Amino acid sequence: MKAQSRNTLRHLAELISQNKSYEEENLKLHEQIEELTNEIEKYKSFVSKYNLEKKEQATKKVKDSNVLKYKMATVLFADTQGFTKISEDMDSNQIVDSLDEIFLQLGDIINKHEIKNLRSIGDSLLCVGGIPQKNMTNPIQVVLAAVEMQYFLNMIQKTYRNDRIWKLRVGIHTGSLIVNISGSRKINYDVKGETVNLATRIRSYCEKGDILISESTYELVKDLFQCEYYTRMPVKYKGDMLLYIVKGLKPDYSLQKKTIIPNRKYSIRFGLIQFTDLQEMMLNKLEKELPAGLYYHNVKHTIDVVTQVELIGFGEEVDDEELLILKTAALFHDSGHILGYEDHERFSTIIAREILPDFYYTQAQIDKICDLIFVTKMPPDPKTKLDEIICDADLDYLGRSDMIPVSNLLYRELKENNLIGSWNEWNRLQIKFITNHQYFTKTALSLREVNKQKQIERIKMLLETKPEDE
């Protein structure tokens, strides 16, 4: 009986212990669920806010002012030729239907490149790149749209007999622009200024089936497109303007070197140019949304890291796509502080995955960018060359002459977040960290390693001059 009682008691103890273990496990699961729920809510809040910002950007200009000035926009003016030949075989209704069908297709091409199709009257059209949202890529987008429009009409030509086909004349000019905005539900844009007039005049110099661009547009697209000098056009009070014919994309930037459809190399070059717009948008976002008390992880630090990954990247001879991925990762690597201080790297990847598709980054590129963001988590543990570059860029200040004032800002930030103790504790931690730290790339080693060693002595001097309780 005693043995049976002992077994019963032992069994009860095991059940109680097991039940306690289940309760602890259940409590942990509830905590994890609560943590995940909070993160999901933060993510939903960010996505909602980001989408609202995009919508507001599209309408904000209407509310702020009815007249806007743009320093750089690209105007395309085009008209079709071919009424006479086609009218021999088609009645007027067929001509109008054919023209409407063609302009519908041209409109799809224009919209694909995020260009505003402002007017299609009769056999002519007017569209503008770079409005309402300012960007650096509008000359490239407009010229590529023109190339695709000409290609489309050349394909249509094969359906007509005896070369009886619409032909397009395209004139393009890049310059300043005045835009009058009207409407509430449907926003209308009325563009005025010399840029519009010059695009119209350039079109009149153009032969049927050609794309003619101004000298200012040429300077902005010549690296990607095949262009040939055509003629000079007199411009009142300014002398002659050089005009160029666009033959298509350069072979190296087109699929199968056929000069029509852009390839991967083109997309990467385009991305590097577009990075200027992405950077401006993100820095404005960080300036507005980063919480107070980020004395170190602020906009200045982000700019610093973007600059250094480019500098080190050039020194390490990375290719264009690697440079784009590095600069983008640097731009986003501390953006997660918008959502939370702890584990901000993960929040940074959430923000990057939400925004980057709008800037034509591929899923593979976004994955690499997010991997690089995680690499910036302390302590540094790089596995690849790109990992090494971003780690060196993130801690570049350790080997600079301004190391002490920068580290003071980091101390102040950590102190306000209750993540560090006294001043002397901080400096001892710095000495240990810098002593064990190493730059990984040859470029960073040559630029910063010697000066980094001097910082240890400077910090030791600070320890000697500061009271222990500070």
Encoded amino acid at 91, one letter: D
12-60 pLDDT, tens digit per residue, is: 666 666 666 666 666 666 665 666 566 555 555 555 555 555 555 555 5
Mean pLDDT lowest for which of 28-32, 271-275, 309-313, 460-464? 28-32
Are 250 and 189 in a shared domain?
A: yes
Q: Which of 262, 288, 307 is the last residue of a domain?
A: 262
Q: Which of 208, 236, 262 is the last residue of a domain?
A: 262
- Taking the whole predicted model, whether its pTM rises above 0.85 is answered as no
Are 98 and 139 in a shared domain?
A: yes
Kindly report the CATH number assigned to the domain that includes residue 305.
1.10.3210.10
Pairwise CA distance, residues 331 & 325, whole Å: 10
Are 316 and 446 in a shared domain?
A: yes
Q: Is residue 249 part of a domain?
A: yes
pLDDT for the residue numbered 344: 93
278-315 pLDDT, tens digit per residue, is: 999 999 999 999 999 999 999 999 999 999 999 999 99
Q: Is residue 15 part of a domain?
A: no
Could you give the number of structural domains in the chain? 2
Residue pair 166/86 in contact (Cβ under 8 Å)? The answer is yes
* Confidence label for 221 from pLDDT (cuts 50, 70 and 90): very high
Q: Is residue 1 part of a domain?
A: no
Phi, psi of 169 (to 5 degrees): -110, 130
Q: Do β-strands 124-129 and 116-121 pair in parallel, antiparallel, or remain unpaired? A: antiparallel
Are 149 and 165 in a shared domain?
A: yes
Task: Say whether pLDDT at 136 is over 80.
Answer: yes
What is the extent of the structural domain holding 128? 64-262
> What are 182's two structure tokens?
């009207």
Q: What is the CA radius of gyration of the chain?
A: 31
Are 134 and 191 in a shared domain?
A: yes
Phi, psi of 184 (to 5 degrees): -115, -60
153-197 pLDDT, tens digit per residue, is: 888 777 665 455 678 899 999 999 999 888 767 788 889 899 999
Are 322 and 447 in a shared domain?
A: yes
Pairwise CA distance, residues 109 & 118, whole Å: 14
Are 236 and 295 in a shared domain?
A: no
Q: What is the mean pLDDT of residues 410-433?
A: 90
Pairwise CA distance, residues 327 & 359, whole Å: 14
Residue pair 156/165 in contact (Cβ under 8 Å)? The answer is yes
319-356 pLDDT, tens digit per residue, is: 999 999 999 999 999 999 999 998 899 999 999 999 99
Are 307 and 281 in a shared domain?
A: yes
Pairwise CA distance, residues 146 & 274, whole Å: 20
Q: Which of 262, 286, 313 is the last residue of a domain?
A: 262
Place of tokens 């030509």: 157
pLDDT for the residue numbered 460: 80
Are 285 and 341 in a shared domain?
A: yes
Mean pLDDT lowest for which of 64-68, 143-147, 301-305? 64-68
Q: What is the DSSP string of 397-463?
A: GGGSTTHHHHHHHHHHHHHHTT----HHHHHHHHHHHHHH----SHHHIIIIIHHHHHHHHHHHHHH
Are 437 and 299 in a shared domain?
A: yes
Task: Say whether pLDDT at 376 is over 90.
Answer: yes
Task: Say whether pLDDT at 127 is over 70.
Answer: yes
